[in-house]
Structure 1
């Protein structure tokens, strides 16, 4: 049965908005060519979107003015403001962006170990509110929070996880209570995968697995362009993956003895020291796994960069041993998912770059019959915050573009 006129208009409007978001600004002629719609239909939808306050004229195409056909239409960027939070065990970072995803303000707040829950939460929320004011936002439309641990796939709530501070859960609740905004929570490694998929190493790959190598270790799985979170929200908790070469096996309460014990930052630092490679920085504390960190624990990344710059065989030996370890976990994931591509993200993955990626790929070819490309992440520790901005923007667009559905 053909769509009703109102449904057809809604579909056309949303298509135009998405094109303006992705490729804009555009002229009416460009919209006509991209959508395949007639010129009168495009003229009508542009008028509707302007009246709704979603689209406006931002200039003219060409070097000379040529009338209405030369008008460039774009999304009204300040139609909504968004906030993205990267919540770590030792602090919070926030970015406030407009509807186009352009960052208007940034701030960060360290939270020392032992800080009581209430003061930590109050300071973090106050920081978000100050950043919003600094961006010129009267209010926030959508907020996306990237946090370590498990996110309940049904309720969307951050679950209790051993080893994480209590203020994490309370911060999310307080943001929901205090801000007139939609607040969404996502596992931080998943957000890193979103960022690498749209603007980083996984651009052009709709199916891949991302390994976060940082203070902790985690993975994200994207199949056919969709994040796969698992039945309990725990897909990708590879820090708990039993692998050979550790002193024990992991438990339900802690990932010691799992893959984390081989490639977490403390393990990488110790491996480097054993090969005579300087680590620099401060070693991070052991975690519960699944940890995408900002550039807060540079010791492991420093060691990888030092090994790459080392003129002796020590650097090669260290990188070879590290690649052996990474490949063990990657081979298990590849055997189950066959993603065709693995992205080594986080500060260690970025520091290792193409050299470490090539070493891991070569070892994977020996361990698995499934052809797998290994790429180095390009966004480093900032991938979580970048992914949170994208998630907040998606939430705002879904709500604001809803009248066009």
Structure 2
């Protein structure tokens, strides 16, 4: 005769507690009846768990439900002072900071250029790293002053190659994790550093154009071109974090190792066409939309190069689609890409989609990862005491 499944009551409390915490984080304040429906737990179980979570300072009353028939029912939600997570997008010029709570709700936001903006990267080994860390920490502190609660975790999206250990490598070399360590010390919390285009790909995977795709490559065009690669629903970072550095794929007649598309390349193309060499791509796109023939030629060449990069990636990985992100969402550039792709369709069909978030995708991805990381830290902290045996 088989024995029925059984386990310690502490494990059951933990499982039930996590189910309720996840439901509150996912849907916001709820009544006991709503929590019963969301978790499948009995009223008695919900009441017992809420009592434990209340004693742990994890939940708090959140008004009453007056929309349903019968007596008004009290709602309960996650305690507003549990803490926050910081999502930060760092580019070569500025830092954009967003503070979120465990539900993923944005609670504060700051954006400001770095002092003396125009330098390169966030590499921890470069001059000015201390200034950049201080700048990011000051923006986060400004956000926190408007709120009540501690900072628990931070997710930082940066350009450049990011290793599994959080080290950053850009054109000035590796930093050995110095940037992450300095920022963690300044913020007093755990810091996760991630490549910004990978975060953009996670945004598309979880809430954007890639949600219904098993595989895709996000081609994000900003100061340069990078790819976020998703295979079988999972972000592919590569062994050393190099996966997605498609801007350096060989392309005739360019020499090996030459960048295919970035700000410097746009400047070189502009010089050959008699355009302003200091103007960013978005200015040339605007001019092209206004009928400037030289700017239209520049946009056509950028589109051709992006299609050839997609073709190289497609021959190796064969993703379901390529998602165009960053400046590549401009309608004129999308049109140029699709026009060139149609020329190669007989040899190599390529499907292009437009990002759901455009240039904001890296920050959207950082927000999602920060909220997820905050829930993991908070729920583990809240539920760990419940698993300890009582005497």
TM-score range, shorter chain: 0.7 to 0.9
Deviation at 1:215, TM superposition (A): 0.9
Partner of 2:389: none
Structure 1 runs (4+) greater than 6 angstroms displaced: 272-276, 312-316
Deviation at 1:400, TM superposition (A): 1.0
CA distance in 2, matches of 1:394, 1:193: 16
Partner of 1:158: 167
The 1:41/1:245 distance shift into structure 2, 3 A limit, reads farther
Deviation at 1:103, TM superposition (A): 3.5
TM, length-normalised to structure 1? 0.77
Q: Which one is further off, 394-403 or 203-212?
A: 203-212
Partner of 1:337: 317
Residue-by-residue CA offset, 1:105-160 (whole Å, 9 max, x unaligned):
3132323257943652463255245324433255311111112222221xx22234
The 1:158/1:360 distance shift into structure 2, 3 A limit, reads farther
Q: Does residue 231 of the first structure (1) align with residue 234 of the second (2)?
A: no
Residue 90 of structure 2 aligns to a residue whose secondary structure is strand
CA distance in 1, matches of 2:231, 2:383: 28
Residue-by-residue CA offset, 1:365-384 (whole Å, 9 max, x unaligned):
44425xx5321123233222
Unaligned runs of 5+ in 1: 251-255, 284-298
Q: Does residue 57 of the first structure (1) align with residue 61 of the second (2)?
A: yes
**Where do residues 172-187 of structure 1 align in structure 2 (5 Å cutoff)?**
172-187=180-195
CA distance in 1, matches of 2:383, 2:151: 22
Deviation at 1:200, TM superposition (A): 3.4
Which of 245, 251, 256 pairs up with 1:249? 256
Asked if 2 retains the 8 angstrom alpha-carbon contact of 1:124 and 1:171, the reply is no
Partner of 2:361: 383
Partner of 1:368: 348
Q: Larger Rg: 1 or 2?
A: 2
Deviation at 1:241, TM superposition (A): 1.4
CA distance in 1, matches of 2:209, 2:336: 14
Unaligned runs of 5+ in 2: 120-125, 385-391
Partner of 1:295: none
Asked if 1 retains the 8 angstrom alpha-carbon contact of 2:82 and 2:149, the reply is no
Which of 99, 104, 122 pairs up with 2:102? 99
Deviation at 1:331, TM superposition (A): 1.7
Residue-by-residue CA offset, 1:45-88 (whole Å, 9 max, x unaligned):
333333333333323334367446x4334333441122222223
Which of 71, 83, 101 pairs up with 1:80? 83
Which of 114, 117, 120 pairs up with 2:131? 120
The 1:130/1:319 distance shift into structure 2, 3 A limit, reads same
CA distance in 2, matches of 1:133, 1:36: 37
The 1:36/1:367 distance shift into structure 2, 3 A limit, reads farther
Asked if 1 retains the 8 angstrom alpha-carbon contact of 2:137 and 2:186, the reply is no
The 1:105/1:322 distance shift into structure 2, 3 A limit, reads closer
Q: Does residue 19 of the first structure (1) align with residue 23 of the second (2)?
A: yes
Aligned length: 371
CA distance in 2, matches of 1:77, 1:360: 52
CA distance in 2, matches of 1:157, 1:272: 36
Residue 400 of structure 1 aligns to a residue whose secondary structure is helix
